[in-house]
Chains A and B, each alone.
Chain A
Amino acid sequence: MSGADKSHLPEARGQSAIVRVALAAAQPIAEPLVAILLALLVGAIGIALLSGLVPGHSALDVGLPIAAYGALVQGVATPNGITSTLVYATPLILAGLGVALGFKAGLFNIGGRGQFLMGAVGAMTVATTVGTSQSSYIVIPLALLAGALFGAAAGFIPGFLKATSGAHEVVTTIMLNYVFVSVTYWAISGPLALPNAHQPITADVTTRNAALPIIIPFGHDGHLGILLALLAVPVLWFLLYRTTLGFEIRAAGANPDAARYGGMKTNRLIVLTMSIAGLMCGLAGATTIMGVVHQMEPGYDTTVGFDAITVALLGRSNPVGVLFAGLLLGAMRAGAQTMQIQAGVPAELVDALQAIILVFLVINVLRRWLDRRAANPGTRSSAGVDAPQAAEGVA
Chain B
Amino acid sequence: MTEDAARSEAPALEMRGITKRYPGVVANDHIDLDLRRGEIHALLGENGAGKTTLMNVLYGLARPDEGTILMDGKQIQIAGPSDAIARGISMVHQHFMLVPVLSVAENVILGAETMSNAVFVDRHEASRRIGALAERFGFDLNPDAKVGSLSVGQQQRVEILKALYRDARVLVLDEPTAVLTPNETEEIFGLLRRLAGDGRSIVFISHKLYEVLEVADRITIIRRGRVIGERRPSETTEEELAELMVGREVELTVDRGESHVAGPVLVVEGLRVADDRHHEVVPGATFEIRAGEILGVAGVAGNGQDELVQALIGLRRSTGGKVTLAGRDVTGFSPRRMNEAGVGYVPGDRQRFGLILAFPVYDNLILTSYYRPPFAHGLIRNDSAILESAAVQIERFDIRTPSARASSSTLSGGNQQKVVVAREFDRELKLLILDQPTRGLDVGSIEFIHRQIIAKRDAGTAVLLVSAELDEVMEMSDRIAVMYRGRIVAELDGRTADKSEVGLLMATGGHEQATTQEEVRA
Contacts and interface: CB of A to CB of B under 8 A. Distances in A.
The yes or no verdict on A and B being binding partners is: yes
Name which of A1, A4, A262 has the most chain B CB atoms within 10 A of its CB. Answer: A262
Contacts of B336: 262-263
B383 interface: yes
Interface string A239-277: 001111111101100110111111100000000000000
A243 B339 contact: no
Contact of A254 (B359, B368, B383): B359
Contact of B357 (A250, A255, A259, A261): A255
B374 to A, nearest CB: 13
Nearest to A380: B352
B73 to A, nearest CB: 29
A254 B356 contact: yes
B45 interface: no
B490 interface: no
Contact of B380 (A12, A242, A255): A242
B409 A5 contact: no
A196 interface: no
Contacts of A247: 363, 370, 381
A10 B367 contact: no
Contacts of A254: 356-359
Interface stretch (A16-24, A41-49, A142-150): A16-24
Interface string B9-38: 000000000000101111001000000000
B353 interface: yes
Interface residues of A, number: 38
A198 interface: no
B315 A261 contact: yes
A20 B403 CA distance: 15
B416 to A, nearest CB: 12
Contacts of B26: 10
Interface stretch (B125-133, B206-214, B240-248, B283-291): B240-248
Contacts of A12: 21, 24
Contacts of A245: 379
Interface string A360-395: 000000000000001011010000000001000011
Given A10-B21, A251-B359, A258 B367 contact: yes
B382 to A, nearest CB: 9
Contacts of A10: 21, 24-26
A2 interface: yes
B497 to A, nearest CB: 32
Given A243-B379, A247-B363, A247-B381, A1 B229 contact: yes
B396 to A, nearest CB: 21
Interface in B342-370: 345, 347, 351-359, 363, 367-368, 370
B102 to A, nearest CB: 15
Contacts of B68: none
Contacts of A244: 370-371, 376, 379-381
B223 interface: yes
A258 B353 contact: yes
B24 A20 contact: yes
Given A251-B356, A251-B359, A8 B228 contact: no
Contacts of A394: 358
Contact of A2 (B247, B315, B368): B247
B381 A243 contact: yes
A263 B335 contact: yes
A114 to B, nearest CB: 29
Contacts of A379: 352
B334 interface: yes
B224 interface: yes
B95 interface: yes
Interface string A5-43: 100101011001101100000000000000000000000
Given A243-B379, A377-B95, A263 B352 contact: no
Interface in B208-260: 223-224, 226, 228-229, 243-244, 247-248
Contact of B23 (A19, A257, A395): A19
A2 B243 contact: yes
Interface in B295-327: 313, 315
Contacts of A1: 228-229, 243-244
Given A243-B379, A245-B379, A261 B243 contact: no
B223 to A, nearest CB: 6
A8 B224 contact: yes
A247 B367 CA distance: 9
B388 to A, nearest CB: 17
B228 A5 contact: yes
Contacts of B226: 4-5, 8
Nearest to A13: B24
B23 A20 contact: yes
Interface string B380-402: 11010000000000000000000
Contacts of B315: 260-261
A258 B354 contact: yes
A17 B29 contact: no
Given A244-B370, A255-B352, A261 B379 contact: no
Nearest to B383: A242
Contacts of B358: 254-255, 389, 394-395
B24 A262 contact: no
A167 B106 CA distance: 38
B347 to A, nearest CB: 7
Contacts of B244: 1
A242 B223 CA distance: 42
Nearest to A10: B26
Nearest to A243: B379
A245 B381 CA distance: 9
A260 B335 contact: yes
A260 B314 CA distance: 10
B468 to A, nearest CB: 16
A2 B248 contact: yes
For the complex of A and B, 4 pairs with smallest distance between CB atoms: A263-B336, A394-B358, A262-B367, A255-B356
Given A241-B381, A263-B335, 10 more contacts: A5-B223, A242-B380, A245-B379, A248-B370, A251-B367, A254-B356, A257-B352, A257-B353, A261-B315, A262-B370
21 contacts: A1-B228, A1-B243, A1-B244, A5-B228, A16-B23, A16-B24, A19-B23, A243-B381, A244-B371, A244-B376, A251-B367, A254-B359, A258-B352, A258-B367, A260-B315, A261-B313, A261-B335, A262-B336, A263-B336, A263-B339, A379-B352
